[in-house]
Amino acid sequence: MKMPKMSLLDWQKKYGTETACAKALFHVRWPEGFYCPRCGCKKSSYITTRKMHQCSKCKYHVSLTTGTLFHSTNLPLVKWFWAIYLTAADKGGISALRLSKQIGVSWPTARNMLKKIRTAMEHRDSIYRLENIIEMDDAVVGGKRPGKRGRGAQGKKPIVVAVERRGDKAGFMAAQVAGTINKQVVREFIKYLFKPGQTVRTDAFPALNSIAETHKHDKKVTPPEQASTWLPMVHILIGNLKKFLNGTFHGVTHKYLQEYVSEFCYRFNRRFWEPELPLRLLNACLTHSPVI
Nearer to Zn ion, 35 or 192 (CB): 35
Nearer to Zn ion, 39 or 204 (CB): 39
165: left (phi over 0), alpha (psi -120 to 50) or beta: beta
Residue 36 lies near Zn ion (rule: CB under 5 A): yes
Tell me the closest approach of the beta carbon of residue 72 to Zn ion, in angstroms. 22
Q: Give residue 288's Cα distance to chain centre.
A: 12
Q: By CB under 5 A, name the one of 38, 50, 115, 216 that touches Zn ion.
A: 38
Closest CA to 86 of 286, 285, 281: 281
Cβ-based burial of 182 (10 A; exposed 0-12, middle 13-18, buried ≥19)? middle
Q: By CB under 5 A, name the one of 8, 33, 39, 155 that touches Zn ion.
A: 39
Q: How far is CA 95 from CA 102, 114, 252, in A?
A: 11, 9, 11
Tell me the closest approach of the beta carbon of residue 26 to Zn ion, in angstroms. 16
Residue 33 lies near Zn ion (rule: CB under 5 A): no
Nearer to Zn ion, 50 or 243 (CB): 50
Residue 140 lies near Zn ion (rule: CB under 5 A): no
Q: By CB under 5 A, name the one of 58, 97, 204, 212 that touches Zn ion.
A: 58
Tell me the closest approach of the beta carbon of residue 60 to Zn ion, in angstroms. 4
CB count within 10 Å of CB 101 equals 12
Residue 55 lies near Zn ion (rule: CB under 5 A): yes
Tell me the closest approach of the beta carbon of residue 57 to Zn ion, in angstroms. 5
Cα separation, 40 vs 33, in Å, equals 12
Using the contact rule CB under 5 A, the part of the chain among 38-46, 129-137, 215-223, 226-234 near Zn ion is 38-46
Nearer to Zn ion, 55 or 69 (CB): 55
279 close to 4: Cβ distance less than 8 angstroms: yes
Cα separation, 241 vs 266, in Å, equals 12
Cα separation, 70 vs 80, in Å, equals 8
Q: DSSP assignment of 38-49, as one string?
A: TT----EEEEGG
Nearer to Zn ion, 20 or 62 (CB): 62
Binding mask 60-79 for Zn ion (x = CB under 5 A): x-------------------
Tell me the closest approach of the beta carbon of residue 38 to Zn ion, in angstroms. 5
Count of residues in contact with Zn ion, rule CB under 5 A: 8
Sheet of 52-55, strands arranged across: 44-47, 52-55, 61-63
Cα separation, 269 vs 263, in Å, equals 10
Tell me the closest approach of the beta carbon of residue 35 to Zn ion, in angstroms. 9
Residue 279 lies near Zn ion (rule: CB under 5 A): no
Nearer to Zn ion, 3 or 62 (CB): 62
| Interface ranges with Zn ion (CB under 5 A) | 36, 38-39, 41, 55, 57-58, 60
